[in-house]
Structure 1
Amino acid sequence: MHIAVVGLGPAGALLAHRAAGRGWTVDAYDPRCETTSDGVLLPRWTSTYGVFLDSLPAWARDVLAFSSVTGDLEVHTPRRRTLGRRPYGVVDRDLTRRRLREVGGHLRLHRRKVDDLSPGALGVDVVVDCRGVVDRVGDIRQIAYGVVVPSMPETHQTPQAPVPSVFMDWRPAGGPGHADPPSFLYVQQVDGGTLYEETILVTRQRTRPMLDLLERRLAARLPGLTGCTATETVHFPVDRRVRGWYTGVRDGVAVFGAAGGLTHPATGYSVAESAATVDRLLTLLERGALPWRERLSAACAYRLRLFGAELVTAADGPTLQRFFDAFFALPPHRQTAYLTGQHGGRVALTMLALARYPRRVLPFLRPLPRVLWAMAVGGRRPRGATRRRGETTTRGTPTGP
């Protein structure tokens, strides 16, 4: 089979790698590819990507490289918990993109922008659109601001003590504008130091004012922090897709990654989900369609998670604290079912399981009638919204699974 992959973020690169590994001929296009003396290389990725290793297929655990892996990931809601027995890794972007290129002569990279996605124009059997999505005013988006420092100041962490890896710290940051929208602290070891990132999980607020707010909150949370070697800003829509990846080929074109709805609407994670789904997409390309039960299950999973994202946008800080305190009290397999996978029934069971914590969950559900009505009438975006190109990569954490 001969396919074209258009867009080489992590999802497109994973797809091109796996297709070439099957012996298919793959032409992959991205204007951000690098031309070097060794040939054309995959684009440099600028976001931080984190994944739960148990959500990856075996082949991906061998191909993806990690700059750090922790088995003691903390959450604060505000009570402290450790997400035990779930190793969490931060992707080494440079080493990973080199590994993904090493598949022999079946993969050809092109530093070129593609506007005509028809198979005839590119001389292939099928085109897979991995270019991401267009952000619009009023969309639900994740926004984060982070800094990388060599180590914590001694007033916060002794040089000998390891800096804990934190998945979500929902304790209030304090400082100016600390109320709404709520945000949490994310902490991970990355190349060159430790990333401290203040993240708004999902919001409809515009990006620029929120980045300024997050920078102030991070400074208030970590007073006296000095010696930053890098900064990171994250902003991407979580409620947009071209269409579901599971819908198959239309006019010779399939979709994958963010374009196919593989960005988790309620967390922003996408890298692990793309890795876990890529072989199913390749099988779809071979056979022409997925079984209807698989299509229905994937569609239900997406809609249920989108419903969750809508509720998060309506919640204040104390409400989200209580909700996530209940969520992280669930058995690990229930948490995993909501965070990863394309099984709508398992997502629904996790949502139902939260009913055992009514005092913590009911405030989160108060906007339920309004949210259901808005989703039913399609009123999630203001009329006349303008369009702009948004970042389409995610961290694989809530800056990135």
Structure 2
Amino acid sequence: MRAADRSSATTIAATQLWIVGAGPAGLALAEACVARGVRVSVLAPDPRAAWRPNYAMWLDDATSLGVEPYLAHRWPGTTARFAAGPRPLDRGYALLDDRRWQLESLARIERAGGSIVAGTLAAIDHDDEGVQLDCDDGQRLRGQLVVDATGHGSRFVALEAGPAPAYQVAWGEQWAVEKELELDRATFMDWSSTGAAESDESLPPTFCYALPLARDRLFAEETVLAARLDHAPASYFPALRRRLDRRLELQGVGRIGEPLELERCVIPMGAALPRADQRTLAFGGAASMVHPATGYLLTTVLRRRARVADAIATELGHWVSPGGPSRRIWQAIWTPAEVRAWRLYSFGLEIICALDRAALDRFFAEFFELPDHCWRGFVSGTAPTPELMATMLRYFASVPAPIRARLGSALFGREGLRMLRGFGGLQRS
């Protein structure tokens, strides 16, 4: 970059760290960094715009990760439904009041001296002094480090070579209902069939996720857990909506008026991991932190925010030049153990994508028969690699022969080889 260009760049409160993106990942990291004395600025096109999706998590995770004060709803237990019958899960579930959490997080960042800047990032330019962000409106912003937290598909973060991601696609509706609902359980998965019409809908296997929000209020979402899609993800919304409508009719859910809320959800699953040899850092979806086998992201973001903020604060506190800090911070964003676990989860994703609805029904019915600590660690993404491998082996030994054969074929085939090759950690050139 030319000296004249650098001198024309804007410095906002001597910003050390730019975080691009004001979603849950960006604000969680920004708040953790300002708490450690880092001078942070957050850049986003509309930083205070309401987040579109609803964010939910297991109740014990919400408590341990410090977001219990921001829960809008909680359920003491959950249920999974299969062809063999319902399976009560002794684990609470929770829905966040994400608007309140968002606004209070923004306020805390600003009270701690952080800046919230409206702008659309056009280019990132690293130089011998740090980084410059060029915005569409002509703003040029200087700092020492930059973290991309803009979500999936960022054009500023280089990823490993690998297959295209699968997708989770969902259509959700909130309704006022006639029948009084029980409020003690959420439906985590309902794999029951919606009838012969499914064969004409050209949909991958789907399940229903349902949250009773009040005695007369239900949120239900028809969901493709994970699939390699033949068409654009959004093109599946009409069929998902029809299937959800039929499911609610079959279950005798009398709905009043029009939907109170609609939710459309598209989540890349098993996206390639970021490379560790780049100076643009990433966090959240931009760093491929989505759980490859479940689609959860928020708990991973919250679990890693403190240690990533520690690494950033340490590097900025000992700043000499921009040459090495990013390489060391990447080790906090993705530890080698987490990379190994991610490879295992991604292997599980390939199995899920290959199964039809009946096989997925059996797959998850057997999965939730595992001891509670096994399936809890898997779905939350907290199990260390040895425990995760033990869970997968135990599952392998317990499942019916057709599923065991499918697992064995994948393990000793291309998917298994790709998994083992990536066990060393994030790739570098």
Same fold (TM over 0.5): yes
Q: C-alpha root-mean-square deviation of aligned residues, in Å?
A: 2.9
TM-score (ref. length: structure 1) = 0.80
CA distance in 1 between counterparts of 2:228 and 2:88 reads: 30
Q: 3-state SS of the aligned residue for 1:47?
A: coil
Change (3 A) 1:342 1:177: same
Percent of pairs with identical residues: 24
- Which residue does the alignment assign to 2:148? 129
Q: 3-state SS of the aligned residue for 1:267?
A: coil
- Which residue does the alignment assign to 1:327? 367
Please list every run of 5 or more consecutive structure 2 residues that lacks an aligned counterpart in the other structure: 1-14, 133-140, 155-161, 316-324, 419-429
- Which residue does the alignment assign to 1:353? 394
Change (3 A) 1:59 1:216: closer
Q: How does 1:232-243 map to 2 (within 5 A)?
A: 232-241=263-272, 243=274
CA distance in 1 between counterparts of 2:404 and 2:261 reads: 36
Matching of residue 82 in structure 1 with residue 113 in structure 2: no
Contact 1:181–1:200 (8 Å) recurs in 2 = yes
Contact 1:171–1:184 (8 Å) recurs in 2 = yes
Structure 1 residue 342: Cα displacement? 6.8
Return the match for 1:101 from 106, 118, 137: 106
- Residues 287-307 of structure 1: CA distance to partner in whole angstroms, max 9, x if unpaired? 553779x82211111111111
Q: Select the structure with the greater relative contact order (CA < 8 A; seq sep ≥ 6).
A: 1
Contact 2:170–2:223 (8 Å) recurs in 1 = yes
CA distance in 1 between counterparts of 2:335 and 2:234 reads: 37
Contact 1:147–1:230 (8 Å) recurs in 2 = yes
Matching of residue 140 in structure 1 with residue 166 in structure 2: yes
Q: 3-state SS of the aligned residue for 2:226?
A: strand
- Residues 355-374 of structure 1: CA distance to partner in whole angstroms, max 9, x if unpaired? 34231x74265165357644
TM-score (ref. length: structure 2) = 0.75
CA distance in 2 between counterparts of 1:264 and 1:166 reads: 20
Return the match for 1:110 from 99, 104, 117: 117
Matching of residue 220 in structure 1 with residue 246 in structure 2: yes
Structure 1 residue 57: Cα displacement? 6.7
Return the match for 2:262 from 231, 245, 252: 231
Structure 1 residue 58: Cα displacement? 4.1
Return the match for 1:308 from 348, 354, 357: 348
Q: 3-state SS of the aligned residue for 2:67?
A: helix
- Which residue does the alignment assign to 1:67? 72
Structure 1 residue 279: Cα displacement? 1.3
Structure 1 residue 48: Cα displacement? 1.3
Change (3 A) 1:334 1:300: same
CA distance in 2 between counterparts of 1:256 and 1:147 reads: 30
Letter in 2 for 1:88: Y
- Which residue does the alignment assign to 2:234? 208
Contact 2:172–2:221 (8 Å) recurs in 1 = yes
Contact 1:311–1:364 (8 Å) recurs in 2 = no
Matching of residue 174 in structure 1 with residue 204 in structure 2: no
CA distance in 2 between counterparts of 1:376 and 1:358 reads: 19
Return the match for 1:274 from 301, 305, 318: 301
Return the match for 1:195 from 219, 241, 265: 219
Structure 1 residue 137: Cα displacement? 11
Please list every run of 5 or more consecutive structure 1 residues that lacks an aligned counterpart in the other structure: 34-40, 379-401
Matching of residue 17 in structure 1 with residue 31 in structure 2: yes
Structure 1 residue 226: Cα displacement? 4.2
Contact 2:410–2:416 (8 Å) recurs in 1 = no
- Which residue does the alignment assign to 2:284? 257
Structure 1 residue 120: Cα displacement? 2.3
- Which residue does the alignment assign to 2:186? 165
Letter in 2 for 1:92: D
Q: 3-state SS of the aligned residue for 2:172?
A: strand
Q: 3-state SS of the aligned residue for 1:301?
A: helix
Q: 3-state SS of the aligned residue for 1:325?
A: helix
Letter in 2 for 1:120: V
Contact 1:299–1:344 (8 Å) recurs in 2 = no
CA distance in 2 between counterparts of 1:199 and 1:371 reads: 27
Q: How does 1:17-36 map to 2 (within 5 A)?
A: 17-33=31-47
Structure 1 residue 55: Cα displacement? 2.5
- Which residue does the alignment assign to 1:385? none
Q: 3-state SS of the aligned residue for 2:143?
A: coil
Q: 3-state SS of the aligned residue for 1:133?
A: coil
Contact 2:411–2:417 (8 Å) recurs in 1 = no
Letter in 1 for 2:93: Y
CA distance in 2 between counterparts of 1:140 and 1:239 reads: 6
Range with greater deviation from structure 2 (221-230 or 345-354):
221-230
Letter in 2 for 1:201: L
- Which residue does the alignment assign to 1:2? 16
Contact 1:129–1:259 (8 Å) recurs in 2 = yes
Letter in 2 for 1:199: T
Contact 1:172–1:178 (8 Å) recurs in 2 = no
Q: 3-state SS of the aligned residue for 1:171?
A: coil
Letter in 2 for 1:82: P
Structure 1 residue 139: Cα displacement? 3.1
Letter in 2 for 1:27: S
Change (3 A) 1:366 1:58: closer
- Which residue does the alignment assign to 1:390? none
